[in-house]
Amino acid sequence: MTVRVYLAAARLVPGPPQTGDLPAERVFLHAADVPEVWVETESTAVPGPGRVVTFALARPMDLGIERVVGTIERAVGKRTRTRVAAPSAG
């Protein structure tokens, strides 16, 4: 299931993927009056709101950035448009 993860305080950074990065299938920048950054991933390991997360682009694209770092505002199932609960820490 594709999850759309909306990020606050997002940064696009260079550098190779790091251990613990989630794969970013798609990255979106909405440069409006209220800017938004969101990442779409197939990962099931997306943490809950308020947690810092790092994503690495799933494929090299020669854009000058390879990673996205930010704080999760919310995660939404792309197909169902419902909020995705964080995995339980068990």
**How do residues 47-73 score in pLDDT, each as one tens digit?**
999 999 999 999 988 889 999 999 999
- Which of 72, 67, 37, 36 minimizes the C-alpha distance to 52? 72
Radius of gyration of the chain (CA): 12
Buried b (16+ CB within 10 A) or exposed e, 45-74: ebeeeeeebbbbbbeeeeeeebbbebebbe
Query: Is the CB of residue 67 less than 8 Å from the CB of residue 17?
Result: yes
Q: What is the pLDDT of residue 47?
A: 95
This prediction has a pTM of 0.84
pLDDT in tens, 74-83: 999 987 666 6
pLDDT in tens, 2-55: 999 999 999 999 999 999 999 999 999 999 998 899 999 999 999 999 999 999
